[in-house]
Amino acid sequence: MKLYNLKNHSEQVNFAKAVKLGLGQQQGLFFPVELPVIKPIQLLEMLKMDFITRSTEILSKFIYNEISKEKLYQNVKKAFLFKHPLKVKITKDINCFELFHGPTLAFKDFGARFMAQMILSLNKKNESVTILTATSGDTGAAVAHAFYKMKNVRVIILYPKGKISELQEKLFCTLGKNIRTISINGSFDDCQKLVKEAFNDKKLKESIGLNSANSINISRLLAQICYYFEAFSLIPEEKRNNLVIAVPCGNFGNLTAGLLAKSLGLPIKSFIACTNANDTVPRFLNDGKWNPKKTVSTISNAMDISQPNNWPRIEELFNRKKWDLKKLRFGSVSDKTTEKTLRELFELGYVSEPHAAIAYRLLRDQLKKGEFGLFLGTAHPAKFKNTVEKILKNKILLPDELRERINLPLLSHNINPDFNKLKQFLIEK
């Protein structure tokens, strides 16, 4: 698979290199040179396959010349070895597609776990690898669990001290073994800056085999294409021509994967790009002006992003496929409406959380007659226990994944946002 840098089309790399680099020169995103297409007859066959076999087929369309199908099947099996996505009926025309049954209870498990398998697989010489990443919550947990106990891999996760929820911290700072966590006396931006400094230090980078686990990594996107096919396979045949999928968006990786699924030939009628008050994209789709504002905090905090870094990929895809951006549906939902919608879902017998509630809201407002709607459940409500309990005035039970970690001691180190301190840690520990 060849990929080009969106900021400099002459920089082309293969899949292995793109996984390793994460970003190209000038922080440019990688995008596939060829967009494979599945013929309708083959699609029908694929829809009958089980999730792992079908996912292997899909991924192999992109990376067949770098990883054999047999090998890929084993990788996919290991990566997606947890309860599969679940379709839950909400109303006659609307279902939730729950993607949060992985080990860290958010859809990010799909991407992070597949990326881990790819890094392991593509590391042919068994060199030792250091994964360094900054997190504001969910990504850290997904990455830590994905690489947990992997040979030759050391994971170092930076997070802002006191700025992630207690449950989030327990989920990835109690693991130990090859997972090191460092709380930084500063903000998420400070953490990201430290990571950047480490990647800019060429000597350090080579001596410890520094590798990116960033959310813009192409392997994470490819993995996420697979569950859109699963969603499609689960809906009744008579509804398949009229499927609308609402996606809660932050960095817009999830939506990019959905659109890639469509470009492969999955006949999804329409997507709704759903945001909270951080509405750079809805405003852009409305008036054509790209005008990011300062990020505001909301109760759907995983979507508190005003400069979504996957957007250039979406624009490229629309250009390449000659699709009309005007056909992309969109909307933004305030915290107040999100709360109201969570209560509405609760009345319908469904306990949700703020991110999915935003998608449900826009879906139920925009669904046309004869259409069938799916909204993506991106995280388990227990991950946002305090918020959800306060809004619904109802207790949320902790699933086993959280319950078994809640009483374990935190193993994090703590440092000031000082690159020399981090460097010392990277070399010594």
Ligand X SMILES: *Cc1c(COP(=O)(O)O)cnc(C)c1O
Residue ranges in contact with ligand X by CB under 6 A: 106, 108, 138, 248-254, 302-303, 355, 378-379
Rounded to whole angstroms, the Cα distance separating 111 from 116 reads: 9
The residue (of 112 and 426) whose beta carbon lies closer to ligand X is 112
The residue (of 249 and 382) whose beta carbon lies closer to ligand X is 249
Strands 86-89 and 94-98: antiparallel
The residue (of 210 and 273) whose beta carbon lies closer to ligand X is 273
Alpha helices, H only, 186-248: 188-200, 202-208, 218-234
Give the position of tokens 């990020």: 295
CB of 203: closest distance to ligand X in angstroms? 33
What one-letter code names the amino acid at 338?
T
The residue (of 310 and 412) whose beta carbon lies closer to ligand X is 310
CB of 252: closest distance to ligand X in angstroms? 5
Residue 49 in tokens:
């396959």
CB of 50: closest distance to ligand X in angstroms? 25
The string of DSSP letters for 276-309 reads SS--HHHHHHHHS----------SSGGG--SS-T
CB of 126: closest distance to ligand X in angstroms? 32
CB of 346: closest distance to ligand X in angstroms? 18
The residue (of 130 and 378) whose beta carbon lies closer to ligand X is 378
Nearest 5°: the CA angle 170, 120, 178 is 35
| Helix and strand numbers, DSSP H then E, in the chain | 18, 14
Instruction: Annotate 13-64 with three-state secondary structure.
Output: EEHHHHHHHCCCHHHCCEEECCCCCCCHHHHHHHHCCCHHHHHHHHHHHHHC
The residue (of 46 and 142) whose beta carbon lies closer to ligand X is 142
Q: Are 285 and 279 in contact (CB under 8 A)?
A: no
CB of 303: closest distance to ligand X in angstroms? 5
The residue (of 117 and 300) whose beta carbon lies closer to ligand X is 300
CB of 23: closest distance to ligand X in angstroms? 16
DSSP state of 239: G
